[in-house]
Every structure is written in C-alpha cells, then in structure tokens.
Structure 1
Amino acid sequence: MKRKRRNESYYQYRATCSIRREDGFEDIRNYELDTDILHKSLHFWNKSSHLKQCQDMLSALIFQEDDRVVKYGILQEKLVLVPRFTYEEEKKPPGKHIVLPKLLLAIEALILMIIQSRM
C-alpha cells in the first residue's frame, strides 16, 4: 500500500533573555517555546505579528516562573522550523481490484454448473 506523507512542521520560538530580579541579581537564560505556527503560515508580511505574540507568551512565562523578576530584556530571538512528518496509508475507493475477484468467482460458479448439468 502507498503511504501519503503529510508535512506538519512548525516553528519554535527561541530567545536569549537578560533577567533582573528585585535583589539586583542578573541572569541570562535561554528559552524555547513551541508555537502553533505551521510551516506554510509564516510569511514576511506576518512575521512581526507572530514574533510579537511569541514575545507576549515569553513575558507571561518569565513573570509566572519567578515573581521576583523586575525587568527583562530580549538579547536574541528567532523562529526555528522544527520538521515533523507523518505518514498515512492511502485509502483507495473500491474499484477494479474488487470487481475482478467477483467476476472470476462468478465464472467459476458458471463452469461448475455447466459441468454438473452434463453429468
């Protein structure tokens, strides 16, 4: 059977941030966030809006992760394509491959009837 290849690749948001807490401690962290941006839905005209949504998700994550964070800054960010493919078996509609065995069965039954009638 043939298998159909489906491309379900998506973009992952990767950012390097400088985080400052209220006690003066400053830290640099790397974040990787999976997004729902599919491979065909990212274009040059909507890339900035997708980046803005990812930045909002990142800020929510940073402030939820540690409540002592006062300030953060994004040092580097990018959208990275993560390849993911799935394979499905192609389902063929009933066609010639089912008609031929039925036709052969009917011919065999007809031949058996002719042989039995001559005996």
Structure 2
Amino acid sequence: MNACAAVLVYDADCPVCRASADWVLRNAVAPDSFEFLPCRSVETRLRFPAIAETACLQAMHLVLQDGTILAGEQAIPEILRRTRRYRRAGVLFRLPGAGILSRFLYRAFARRRHRIAKRLFP
C-alpha cells in the first residue's frame, strides 16, 4: 500500500457500492492512490474503530493520511481530486448551495441503493 493512499471504506455487499469502488480504482491518478476496505471486515474494525458499522453501511467513508474521516457526500470532492479525468469536477462542490444539494442527493441515493442495485444488477 502507498503511504499516501486514502482508504475507502465501503459496503462490499452492495453491488452499487462495489461498482463505485471499481470506478474509483479505474479512474485514480495511480493504482495505489486508494486502499479499499469492506465495511464489515475485521481489518476495518481494527484500524478504524471510529467508523461504526452502521454508519459505514449508510455511507462510504474516506480516511485520509492524517486520520481525517470524510463520510458520504463529504468524501466525493476528495475522491474526485484524486482522479485523472474528474479532478476539476471537485470544484463544483465549492459552489454556493452545493453542500446542501450534495448531502440531499447522496443520502436519498444511499437510502435507495439496494433497490437501485436490483434494477441495475438483476
């Protein structure tokens, strides 16, 4: 693992979450820009006890090198910043109202992700 890698903790049992993690891996600046850990893994519980399993199952979490934990919509700009093609899109999250809108959209999607997965991945 790269010492500069951010750790993406996600629900590995969710097809949409796995597809999202795969997208992050494919678009990362470098293959070792991210480390990926499933929510329910023993390693996640040991390394990141501050991330409750229930919280992790509601939203992805990105753990930065300095220990900062970004959950859900807060993680998206940092993930985008670490991609090749989409890094400039992270600027959109700084626009007025973007935080409120992204929080609403992320949480609405996250609540419905299992239903969405059934339609996308039958």
Larger helix percent: 2
Q: Normalised by the size of structure 1, how large is the TM-score?
A: 0.24
Q: Normalised by the size of structure 2, how large is the TM-score?
A: 0.24
Larger strand percent: 1
